[in-house]
Amino acid sequence: MTSSVYMDNHATTPTDPRVVDVMLPYFTEKFGNPASRQHKYGWVAESAVENARNSVARILRVDSKEVIFTSGATESNNLAIKGIAEAYSSKGKQIITCATEHKSVLDVCKHLEKFGYKVTYLPVNEFGLIDLNVLEQAIIKETILVSIMIANNEIGTLQDVEKIGMICAKKDVIFHTDATQAVGKIPVDIESAKIDLLSFSGHKIYGPKGVGALVVRNRNKKLKLISQIDGGGHERGLRSGTLNVPAIIGLAKALELCNDSMDEEQKRLSLLRDKMQNAFLTELDEVYLNGHPTQRLPNNLNISFMYVEDNTLMMSIKEIAVSSGSACSTAQPQPSHVLKALGLNEERRHSAIRFGLGRFNTEEEVDYVIDRVIQAVKSLREFSPVYKKRVATKQTVSELQHPK
């Protein structure tokens, strides 16, 4: 075993060495600016970017002109939601999203509320799923956008985006999805789900940080989108700024690698995840799975270990990198808005740990994590007066029911 185990792959992933290899020449040998169209260095860089764009488009089965490179999903979400809100404000100012969305969607919506936009935050059930009937009823004449993520970053629950897309198409409302945790991990059919706008990041799929994309469909209608960064009119006027050529090359390669190994990785990670889940549920009492039991990402496991505080447990297993929620929320520590939206009580929310398995995790590492977590939970519970009282009560009840 190594001295540490990384199981926080929802927060970020290590860049695959094969991705690094294709990026390196664009730092030193092919360092041109793709907007420099007067010389060879610019032509080489521009050609590389367009090849990467074509590769991303091919894998996502969209037109290459529909792929806009950004700095990541947060920027893509901002561009999608603010860009649509500004472009379609004359039609209406109502936006529909979900209570368990990523902060880069929720905070954008809260920002727009300051400017007179009305936002409907759909509730979820105990598994993290929205009610499709509630969604359909929430769409009114003034609704201009529905933004619902495919896969939740904390609990791994998968929304039924095909049905959501059908509802939006029937109601003639634009559908945006934050696909950051889905792209490269599970099949995403943009066409059949009738998705108009899709965001994702490179660093969640073993690519570099600081790069992502927004897919802007022009399938049946040409979407209007107001740019949020003004400048030289790059990316078809939707995202000004010098393109990050090495990162764009890396993003395309990372997506290609994920696409090539997706079926195999889904099976492998599902087996490892289920092994961890079954071990925790078998060896420990009062352990609860958070999120949908089956309709979930193959690499996600969000578990509440009752009577053990999340931060205390993480400090007890410092050699294992896990988290208690979204990496984008930990700069401002607060209870998980996702777990709260599920209706979980405070104790269960504060004892939840998110395990994010990834490409480079081995079965040996999984076995090690299982042993260490079980050992740490048992040890910490010995210092919990609430847990001791509960055990004593159970013993008393058992003795009364089964006297010797």
φ and ψ at 198, to 5 degrees? -135, 130
Encoded tokens for 326: 């979204």
Is 328 annotated as catalytic? yes
267 CB-contact burial (10 Å; exposed 0-12 / middle 13-18 / buried 19+): exposed
Spot the catalytic one: 98, 168, 258, 328.
328
d(CA 112, CA 93): 9
Amino acid at 230: D
Kindly state the DSSP code that residue 370 receives in the 8-state scheme. Answer: H
Encoded tokens for 259: 């696409």
Three-state helix/strand/coil letters over 136-204: HHHCCCCEEEEECCCECCCCCEECCHHHHHHHHHHCCCEEEEECCCCCCCCCCCCCCCCCCEEEEECCC
Residues 6+ apart with CB under 8 A from 273: 298, 299, 300, 301, 355, 357
d(CA 92, CA 75): 23
Furthest C-alpha separation in the chain: 93
Element (H, E) at 65: none
d(CA 317, CA 311): 10
3-class DSSP assignment, residue 386: helix
3-class DSSP assignment, residue 279: helix
Encoded tokens for 96: 């529909």
Strand partners, 120: 96
d(CA 180, CA 202): 9
Total residue count of the chain as it appears in this document: 404
Amino acid at 167: I
Encoded tokens for 13: 């992933």
3-class DSSP assignment, residue 305: strand
Can you tell me which residue has the tokens 């400090």?
315
Catalytically annotated residues? 328
